[in-house]
């Protein structure tokens, strides 16, 4: 792949990052002149020929209304593009300072977004939709600005279960049928992605996620510790905590979430509708910074390894580098001797396919919320998705950066059970499952 140091649309050199950061300590006018002086060498032409949306440094009227942006994140590998946007100085390039704010739980992220303590967040797709509809918590109009990653989560079963032959969905169902007791499975947030993945996975093998097992909510960084002391039989969480369970000898990977839905949406850059309306230039600037970081991560092996070294630090994920750096390259092991290279590993850009906020992706989470009784009636699926997913805003930002944008707002996907989701009849789809609330 092209080295970012030779690609004008990729990472700034470390020298340039320092220069821009240093310049930011001076007056805004000096910073802008300094940036414009460097612009031709640093930035690809499409950035300066945006369709009606010039970069923030190209015109004063496009300057960010708010220059410091607090973005909450949970210690997970897929917070990387938000963190690297700040670490590499891409935020300064677009006239903002991203302040990554480490949070303890998704409930905390939700509450801080709603009350304004956070401006934006690395956040679960389904959480944003839950807040927008007031499901299980406060109701507030929300916005999905862009996707942050596809794939890269997993379903972990305890080593104790695996030692008894329950190593995947079919063998788990068989074991549970002959060994009656209470089984406990954990997800990270009731309306979130991990809840929907593990419910879908269990139901695929005939296990009802509410009647046949007990489901609990546990923050991602606490999953491994809880499994270690026997509080759960299995969990679904983002990396690196599935691989950490294998390294610690307490869990095995039964399936990855990309087995459930190849190239599934996962975390998004989320905020409130109010923030987008009040700070449109700031919103665009942050999106550009995070998009550039996403592109940088996926650009090369060395970039991915540098990312792993960075986010492993205590300020971010707080784990060892080797807990992170294998699965981001698609190098998997299941904890039982099986190894494989997964082409559908965690991706942050993938030529822009990751970041486009497909309406059908948001609608899918609503169908599952209805399936599991979180919604008592069918919403207007398409209308809600159009309210939340900022398609036109994303198109303008992506076009400004020379990033290709799909023509269709819906996409078709085949799931682990053979079902196809295309977003065209969401109510029928939601009602079609034999196992539901």
How many angstroms separate the CA atoms of 47 and 430, rounded? 41
Confidence check: pLDDT of 164 > 90: yes
How many residues belong to the chain? 437
What percentage of the chain reaches a pLDDT higher than 70?
86
CB 362 within 8 A of CB 125: yes
* Non-local CB neighbours of 117 within 8 Å, separated by 6+ positions: 70, 111
Mean pLDDT of the residues in the chain: 89
8 Å CB contact between 140 and 131: yes
Q: What is residue 223's predicted lDDT score, i.e. its pLDDT? A: 98
How many of the other CB atoms lie within 10 Å of CB of 395?
16
Gap between the Cα atoms of 394 and 401, Å rounded: 11
Would 4-150+265-316+348-400 and 153-263+415-431 be classified into the same CATH topology? yes
Token code pair at residue 79: 């917070």
pLDDT tier at 47 (50, 70, 90 boundaries)?
A: very low
Could you tell me which residues come within 8 angstroms of residue 56 by beta carbon, excluding any fewer than 6 positions away? Answer: 62, 63, 64, 94, 95, 96, 281, 284, 285
What superfamily in CATH does domain 4-150+265-316+348-400 come from? Answer: Periplasmic binding protein-like II (3.40.190.10)
Annotated domain spans of the chain: 4-150+265-316+348-400, 153-263+415-431
Please report which confidence band the pLDDT of residue 49 belongs to, taking 50, 70 and 90 as the band edges: very low
pLDDT in tens, 278-295: 999 999 999 999 999 999
pLDDT for residue 332: 98
Distance CA 140, CA 131 (A): 6
pLDDT digits 0-9 by tens, 353-367: 999 999 999 999 999
Average pLDDT score over residue span 155-166:
98
Residue 35 has pLDDT above 80, yes or no: no
pLDDT exceeds 50 at position 39: no
Contact 51, 396 (CB under 8 A): yes
Tokens of 173: 């169902």
Q: Are 335 and 247 in contact (CB under 8 A)?
A: no
pLDDT digits (tens, 9 = 90+) for 304-340: 999 999 999 999 999 999 999 999 999 999 999 999 9
pLDDT band, residue 87 (cuts 50/70/90): very high
* pTM given for the model: 0.87
CB 56 within 8 A of CB 95: yes
State how far the Cα of 74 lies from the Cα of 208, in Å rounded to an integer: 29
Mean pLDDT calculated for residue range 29-38: 30
Specify the fold of 153-263+415-431: D-Maltodextrin-Binding Protein; domain 2 (3.40.190)
SS3 assignment, position 86: helix
Q: How confident is the model at residue 44 (pLDDT cuts 50, 70, 90)?
A: very low
Average pLDDT over residues 389-403: 98
Tell me the pLDDT tens digit for each residue of 217-243. 999 999 999 999 999 999 999 999 999
Short-list 422, 147, 153, 415, CA closest to 261:
415
In this predicted structure, what is the pLDDT of residue 60? 56
């Amino acid at each position: 792949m092209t080295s970012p140091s030779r690609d004008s649309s990729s990472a700034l050199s470390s020298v340039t990052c320092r220069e821009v950061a240093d310049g930011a300590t001076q007056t805004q006018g000096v910073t802008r002149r300094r940036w414009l002086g460097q612009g031709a060498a640093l930035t690809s032409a499409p950035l300066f020929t945006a369709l009606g949306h010039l970069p923030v440094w190209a015109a004063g009227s496009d300057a960010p209304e708010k220059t410091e942006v607090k973005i909450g994140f949970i210690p997970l590998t897929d917070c990387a593009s938000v963190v690297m946007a700040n670490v590499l100085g891409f935020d300064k390039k677009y006239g903002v300072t991203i302040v990554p704010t480490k949070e303890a739980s998704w409930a905390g992220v939700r509450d801080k977004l709603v009350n304004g303590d956070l401006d934006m967040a690395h956040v679960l797709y389904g959480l944003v939709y839950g807040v927008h509809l007031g499901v299980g918590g406060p109701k507030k109009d929300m916005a999905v600005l862009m996707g942050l990653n596809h794939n890269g989560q997993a379903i972990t079963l305890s080593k104790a279960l695996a030692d008894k032959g329950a190593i995947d969905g079919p063998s788990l169902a068989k074991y549970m049928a002959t060994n009656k007791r209470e089984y406990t499975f954990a997800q990270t947030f009731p309306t979130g992605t991990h809840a929907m993945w593990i419910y879908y996975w269990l139901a695929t093998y005939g296990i009802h996620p509410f009647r046949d097992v007990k489901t609990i909510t546990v923050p991602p960084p606490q999953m491994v510790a809880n499994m270690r002391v026997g509080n759960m039989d299995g969990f679904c969480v983002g990396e690196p905590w599935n691989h950490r369970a294998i390294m610690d000898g307490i869990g095995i990977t039964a399936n990855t979430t990309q087995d459930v839905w190849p190239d599934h949406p996962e975390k998004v850059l989320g905020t409130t509708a109010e923030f987008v309306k009040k700070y449109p230039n700031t919103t665009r600037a942050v999106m550009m910074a995070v998009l550039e970081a996403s592109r940088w991560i996926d650009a090369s092996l060395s970039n991915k390894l540098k990312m792993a070294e960075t986010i492993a630090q205590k300020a971010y994920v707080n784990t060892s580098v080797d807990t992170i750096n294998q699965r981001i390259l698609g190098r998997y092991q299941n904890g039982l001797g099986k190894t494989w290279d997964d082409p559908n590993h965690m991706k942050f850009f993938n030529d822009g396919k990751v970041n486009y906020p497909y309406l059908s992706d948001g609608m899918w989470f609503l169908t599952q919320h209805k399936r599991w009784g979180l919604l008592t009636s069918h919403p207007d699926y398409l209308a809600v998705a159009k309210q939340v997913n900022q398609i036109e805003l994303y198109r303008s930002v992506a076009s400004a950066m020379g990033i290709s944008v799909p023509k269709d707002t819906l996409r078709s996907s085949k799931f682990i059970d053979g079902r196809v989701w295309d977003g065209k009849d969401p109510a029928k789809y939601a009602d079609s499952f034999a196992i539901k609330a």
